[in-house]
Amino acid sequence: MKLDGRKIAILIAPRGTEEPEFAKPKAAVEEAGGAVTVISLGTEDAQTVNNDLDPGATFKVDRAIGNVSAAEFDALIIPGGAVGADKLRGSKAVVAFVRDFFTAGKPVAAICHAPWALIEADEVEGRTLTSFPTLQTDIRNAGGAWVDQEVVVDQGLITSRDPDDLPAFCAKLVKEFCEGAQADRA
């Protein structure tokens, strides 16, 4: 499966995004031929974490959220990490950016605590998804159906629970992003 230069946005918080949930999907998209743009609240380098508490690697940010539009991209990845996901959902610009992907019918992949941004964007109601287990009440309260599965796909939304699910999550998001690319060409 090849993404043939498709433009994929990936969000990262300035601090607190879970490193493997950022780095592995990014690498999977790049290996499939996608062009990844790293987007954050500002343009300073972003410090990730491991297991929410331990410092992780630092990553270069390509663009600030205030200077991007969903129209520039073919799909979106939202990594988790409790602190990072909370920072992202607290940004009105991030919430609008996420919502714009759904409005345009573009695929979105979210793992672990990332569905908080989906809830803030009012994009959970009527959907079935998974997440880190502590979000299940939030998802149900937002009108979604929460299930305990490795990866779930619902109307172009790909979700997974935690870093243990990354192999399945990465494979499924590449597949869904490729299918989105094929649908665009039809």
pLDDT of residue 180: 74
In this structure, are residues 127 and 157 in contact, taking their beta carbons and an 8 Å threshold? yes
Q: How far apart are CA 120 and CA 118, in angstroms?
A: 5
Residues in Cβ contact with 183 at an 8 Å cutoff, skipping those fewer than 6 apart? none
pLDDT of residue 179: 85
**What residue ranges of the chain have pLDDT lower than 50?**
182, 185-186
Q: Catalytic residue, from 29, 32, 112, 166: name it.
A: 112
Q: What is the pLDDT of residues 10-52, one digit of tens each?
A: 999 999 999 999 999 999 999 999 999 999 999 999 999 999 9
128 HSE (CA, 13 A, CB side): 8
Q: Lay out the sheet containing 46-50: strands in order across.
A: 15-18, 46-50, 54-59
Query: Cα angle vertex 40, ends 36, 46, to 5°?
Result: 95
pLDDT of residue 182: 45
Residues in Cβ contact with 150 at an 8 Å cutoff, skipping those fewer than 6 apart? 130, 160, 161, 165, 168, 169
pLDDT of residue 100: 98
pLDDT of residue 184: 53
Q: State the pTM of this model.
A: 0.96
pLDDT of residue 185: 40
- Say whether 112 is catalytic: yes
**Residue 154 is inside which H or E element, if any?**
strand 151-154
